[in-house]
Structure 1
Amino acid sequence: MSHALFRARILAAPMAGGTSTPAFVQAVHEAGGLGFLAAGYKSVEAMQAEIRATRASGADFGMNVFVPDPDQLRPSPALVAQLEAYRSRLGADARRYGIEVPPPRLDDDDAWQGKIDVLLADPVELVSFVFGLPGTAVVRALQRAGSAVLATVTTTAESLAAADQGVDALVVQHSGAGAHSAAFQKAGGGSRESSQPGTTAELVALVRAAVGLPLVAAGSVMDRVGLDAVLAAGAEAAQLGTALLRSDESGARQLHKDALASPHFTRTRLTHAFTGRKARALVNEFVRDHTDAPEVYPAVHHLTAPLRAAAAAAGDPERLNLWAGTGWQQAKPGPVADILAGLLDRG
């Protein structure tokens, strides 16, 4: 079966939280790439509406789905106590905006089953998964419905586990990528990031040696040099996120786009502070102030959501989740078509 994944060398990452809109995906398609919608943080109905809108535009596209972690939805009493302590510490931030931090929410599986049911009843060409593996039964059901299935992985061990479930391709994410880490296996003898090689191309080469599936490289691919490197290492395509964040069609907040260009922000860091899951962001006051955030996703996300909304409304980048990969300083403004032109030899 032929799938859109193999008709484009550049994929736009599924950026949840409003960045990857149907208009953004359409712009990527018209520029010669392939865009992904993000089901994360949306209701089933909102996901369906975005599918309809993107289909109406005539764009090829995929849908990305968050895999819930049962352990995170049932945290231990010790972790619940850490959440309550973190909630208390967030009070100082909340008072800046005259709001309150909500009580912890522990029941959010991101409407997992409802979204899978929709994708089985109304299939899209590509379905990718992040934060875990969907299970062999889900993989096979989606394939029978006509979708190709991609799993997002960060190590060779995760790649082998995904291959065992019968997925069609892998998105290989390096720790230099912006926003959430896709890692789903616990690291042994150190952090997952320290166990990865230094570049995305090197990680792709390791995974290429371990599995025979088509690979998409993700993490710090910002220009033609980076694209050529991951293709030479064995990837069929590269997935870009940070490189497209500042584009005209990106649904990211202008505050976020401006921060990526600001000399005030000089580095990125992996942090649990905003959501309870490791994510790479520009280092602002919130990141520096909350290095002790508990690793409980998405419970921490719900604790900080009102703070982030208030910071955005106040134009305060110091308490906003400014997701950014390590190559953020190369991100350019302008139309998606112009940004992709240099990567695709159209400039």
Structure 2
Amino acid sequence: MEELISVIIPIYNVEGYLQKCLQSIKNQYYSNLEIILVNDGSTDASLSICQKFARDDNRFVIVNEKNLGQAVARNEGIKRASGKFISFVDSDDIVSKNYISNLYNGLKLGGDIAISNKRRINFTENVRLDENTQKKLPKIVILPSKIIIKKMLSKKIGLEAWGKLYPISFFDNISYPVGQYYEDAEITCLLINKAEKISYIYSQDYFYFKRENSLINQKFSHKKLDILKMGNKLSNFIFYNYPDLYVELAEKLFSAYTNVWMQMNPQESKYNYLWNKIVENRKVLILHIYRIYDFKTLLGILISFCGKKKYRYIYDLLNNIL
């Protein structure tokens, strides 16, 4: 008999995306699901869409919160979950019909955690969610947790909460930090570190929407300086658990700090401080340039030697192309 799996979806004002997201979960080939919709005080039609799905399918469960943020929504979903395993899906994303079944098969093959491959798409892009349907299993590899951490730091695998299947027991004494941006990175690393073996599924079953008003495309806000807290926590974690991954850590921080710094006004108080953090990590990377395989990061390192103004201009152009 199939194990019960809880799918947790934090929801806040995503009426234009939610229908597609929930329909893609409803259509899963793996049917023994508990789908927890955590409505975080939405003021648009998101709650109405949730209620329609809950009326039509008793696997959908609605939990209402008071706009306390994504971390609270995730933590509340974990508390309410009855499944043996948990997967997160963002409410503006969609998944293939095989998303859960492929993740679950990854666990059955010996992984303690399973991770799905992903694909970034535009909202207007027409995606066939059955295109990954196969009579046989997709390619799945079993890797030690250290290799997965290394791939995450090198941006080959995402640090996001979504796109993964965890045993619910892994969340004992672990919760998402409330009121912080970039809360995924630290928690994902802690969860991966609890596992000995990770199943990575090559099939692209998770489709991540790139939209103009999503977090990564917003204009600068001071909350984005939480990237510095994330950097400190991630550094402490790596130096304590995987000290030989210091180059991959520098690669991750170089890119993360650059992405926030690029959004800042040069008059911002932390502008020069963040630039100095970029340069600090660049010093590590330039000594180990042969260990960097991400083309965008390589270009960023080289262009940064042109100085702040040229770096901002050229890197912004490249960011729109690559």
TM-score by length of 1: 0.28
More strand, by proportion:
2
